Structure 1
Amino acid sequence: MALPGKDAAVTPAPFPASTKTASATIKGIETTATMLHFTDKILVTITQHGRLAHWVHVPLDISATDNPLTSNPYLEQEDDVPPSDLLPMHHLTATTILGGTVPELDVLGQTLATQIASAVLTRNSDERRMVVMGMGLDRSMAGREEFSELLGLVLELL
């Protein structure tokens, strides 16, 4: 009888994982963003008051069955319309995996995660690791200006 895990492939990776951190004061609250690059995932955390209460993930790897989503002629932009880097890619979907009990913050978290995943793919179109994002945000962060500041803080890490 083989032991569990004996047949699993081992992928050598440097440790510790590549890590970047940035901090800013947003709406008077010290906010810290961290990005860790593992071999199979990109982990992003955004914390305020030392909390992590809501987790979402965005798969970047599109399977062959999802390919029509990326090649749908009705979703493609017209030639005379310039592409917008401000909009998230239409084929990326954020899913709450833990927490998300405050509706405004759940929408904020999923939108942030999708936008960050889009930025990751814009920077490297061959990226296939899943983006996992943990947040612990104050309820006052659900506004448009706060969204822009949170996104800007995380984009500093790319």
Structure 2
Amino acid sequence: MATENADYTVTPTPYPATTKSSSTDISSISTTAKTHYFADKILITITQNGKLAHWVHVPLDISQTDGSLTSNPYLEQDDDVPSSELLPIHHLTATTILGGTVPELEVLGQTLATQIASVIVQRDEREKRMVVIGMGLEKSMSGREEFSELVGLVLGVL
């Protein structure tokens, strides 16, 4: 016997999930980025040498109780101040959910995830899906140039 719940809503979504992929060499290491757009999550993987060792998530949906994080009059953009579009949005927080045992790569992963989530929100401020990012990066990726190339690769598949 199945019971129906009037609060339950079915959201039709395309099947299979929309997927995009791109590969390039970063510091002579083959790097692949893939995105999978699900109804409730955006899954992004960034792999090198076929590994996935660190998973983080970034919630984009800020509840009404946290409205002060997004509507602070002191944080409004002043016309005389240069644009900060390339900086991560201050209220987005990346949290490690699996892996992340190498400190250099954990910081890299959380910073990369926050930057990517910020770009997603800047492209569509109505986007509320959780961003989940799986990474398998070499330690050599923690440099500024490598970070920029990683972000660029992911931007190509968003």
Q: Which of the five TM-score ranges fits, normalised by the shorter chain? A: over 0.9
**Corresponding residue SS for 2:106:** helix
**Tell me, which stretches of 5 or more residues in structure 2 are unaligned?**
none
Corresponding residue for residue 88 of structure 1: 88
Corresponding residue for residue 119 of structure 1: 119
Runs of 4+ in 1 over 4 A off after TM superposition: none
CA distance in 1, matches of 2:112, 2:85: 14
Shift of 1:71: 1.3
CA distance in 2, matches of 1:76, 1:65: 20
- What TM-score do the two structures reach when normalised by structure 1? 0.93
The 5-angstrom pairing of residues 69-80 of structure 1 reads 69-80=69-80
Shift of 1:12: 2.2
What amino acid does structure 1 have at the position aligned with 2:135? M
**What is the aligned-residue identity percentage?**
71
Shift of 1:47: 0.2
Tell me the number of residue pairs that the alignment of Structure 1 and Structure 2 aligns: 156
**Corresponding residue SS for 1:74:** helix
**Tell me, which stretches of 5 or more residues in structure 1 are unaligned?**
none
Shift of 1:128: 0.5
Q: Do residues 30 (structure 1) and 47 (structure 2) align?
A: no
Corresponding residue for residue 99 of structure 1: 99
- What TM-score do the two structures reach when normalised by structure 2? 0.93
Shift of 1:11: 2.4
